[in-house]
Amino acid sequence: MEKNIIEEARLKKYFEITGKALNAAKKAINRKKRKDALIVIDMCQRYYDDALFFYNKGDYVNAFAALNYSHGWIDAGSRLGLFDVKDSKLFVVK
């Protein structure tokens, strides 16, 4: 296997994981931190949408990078308590 190649199966796995985390975060917004949570959700969604754009163009490397940014925002939001989540498989939890 070549070093700078992202396999489609791996990319699809990350789309699934990040998509689940993003949907769960949208349903678990901390009411007291709603304004900040919505900002983070917006960034997560934008990077997720960018990942789909790159994926559809066949640019798997940039799709993978955008997914990692999306999930990074989700993890930051969960760690800061913007989302009331407990699933340590999808989020960084306190």
Task: Count up the domains in the chain and report the number.
Answer: 1
Q: Is residue 56 part of a domain?
A: yes
Measure the CA–CA gap between 35 and 3, rounded to whole angstroms: 41
Q: Is residue 51 part of a domain?
A: yes
pLDDT score for 2: 59
68: pLDDT strictly greater than 80: yes
pLDDT score for 88: 81
Is 94 exposed, middle or buried, given 0-12, 13-18 or 19+ CB atoms closer than 10 A? exposed
1: pLDDT strictly greater than 60: no
Q: Is residue 49 part of a domain?
A: yes
Measure the CA–CA gap between 94 and 81, rounded to whole angstroms: 8
Cα R_g (the chain), whole angstroms = 14
Q: Percent of the chain at pLDDT above 90?
A: 81
Q: What is the CATH number of the domain that holds 70?
A: 1.20.1270.90
pTM: 0.89
Domain region containing 61: 8-79
Q: Is residue 87 part of a domain?
A: no
94: pLDDT strictly greater than 70: no
Report whether 81 contacts 33 (CB < 8 A). Answer: yes
pLDDT score for 92: 78
